[in-house]
């Protein structure tokens, strides 16, 4: 008798939700040469399967590492390892933000329109003073908040 075997290539990645302690954890820097490909793969899995997801932090998928992936266009993404905001524009703007980890919550949040960022790319190469503006700059700031164990969408007032 043949048994029907369904093979699963890998576990389904789940987004961590409100109340999960990893969302309020300050993430650790990725070390030089550290293999984080399993983490970025899980993060990409979420972005690919959630068309409305414009960015994700490693702790939202369960890893306390300083990694962010942002959607930069309809079919393009950018992974930021150990991102540090070096400089912020003087002008702010307001926009309503939501978050995959805090379903149903939305909040109008003021943020600098532009930022300059140092980070490492996926191959570990250092990038300095890279400028981001507008929506992508906003997503990056939202995701860096997550790496610091915070989400402004969840803050009252
Ligand atoms: Zn979020």
Q: What is the DSSP pairing of strand 92-98 with strand 106-112?
A: antiparallel
The DSSP string of the chain is: -PPP----SSPPP----TT-GGGGSPPBPPPTT---HHHHHHHHHHHHH-TT--EEEGGGGT--B-EEEEEEETTEEEEEEEEEEEEE-S-EEEEEEE-TTSTT-EEEEEEESEEEEEEE-TTS-EEEEEEEEHHHHHHHHHHHHHHTT--GGG---
34: annotated active-site residue = no
Q: Reply yes or no on whether the pLDDT at 141 is more than 60.
A: yes
Note the pTM of the prediction, 2 decimals.
0.91
Q: Which entry of 90, 97, 108, 143 is annotated as an active-site residue? A: 143
CA–centroid distance, 150 to ligand 1, in Å, is 9
Residue-range domains of the chain with CATH: 21-154 (3.90.45.10)
CA–centroid distance, 2 to ligand 1, in Å, is 46
Q: Reply yes or no on whether the pLDDT at 7 is more than 80.
A: no
Q: Reply yes or no on whether the pLDDT at 72 is more than 70.
A: yes
pLDDT at 12: 82
Task: Give the span between the Cα atoms of 78 and 96, in whole angstroms.
Answer: 22
Q: Reply yes or no on whether the pLDDT at 30 is more than 90.
A: yes
CA–centroid distance, 46 to ligand 1, in Å, is 13
CA–centroid distance, 7 to ligand 1, in Å, is 32
Tens digit of each residue's pLDDT (9 = 90 or more) over 92-138? 999 999 999 998 899 999 999 999 999 999 999 999 999 999 999 99
Task: Give the span between the Cα atoms of 130 and 120, in whole angstroms.
Answer: 11
pLDDT at 6: 58
């Amino acid at each position: 008798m043949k048994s029907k075997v369904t093979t699963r290539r890998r576990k389904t990645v789940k987004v961590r939700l409100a109340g999960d302690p990893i969302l309020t954890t300050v993430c650790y820097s990725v070390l030089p040469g550290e293999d984080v490909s399993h983490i970025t793969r899980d993060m990409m899995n979420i972005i690919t399967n959630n068309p409305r997801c414009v960015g994700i932090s490693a702790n939202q998928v369960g890893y306390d590492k300083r990694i962010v992936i942002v959607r930069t266009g309809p079919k393009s993404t950018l992974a930021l390892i150990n991102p540090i905001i070096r400089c912020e524009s003087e002008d702010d703007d307001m926009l309503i933000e939501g978050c995959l980890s805090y379903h149903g919550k939305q909040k109008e949040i003021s943020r600098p329109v532009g930022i300059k960022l140092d980070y490492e790319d996926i191959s570990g190469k250092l990038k300095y003073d890279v400028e981001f503006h507008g929506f992508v700059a906003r997503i990056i700031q939202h995701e860096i908040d997550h790496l610091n164990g915070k989400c402004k969408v969840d803050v009252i007032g």
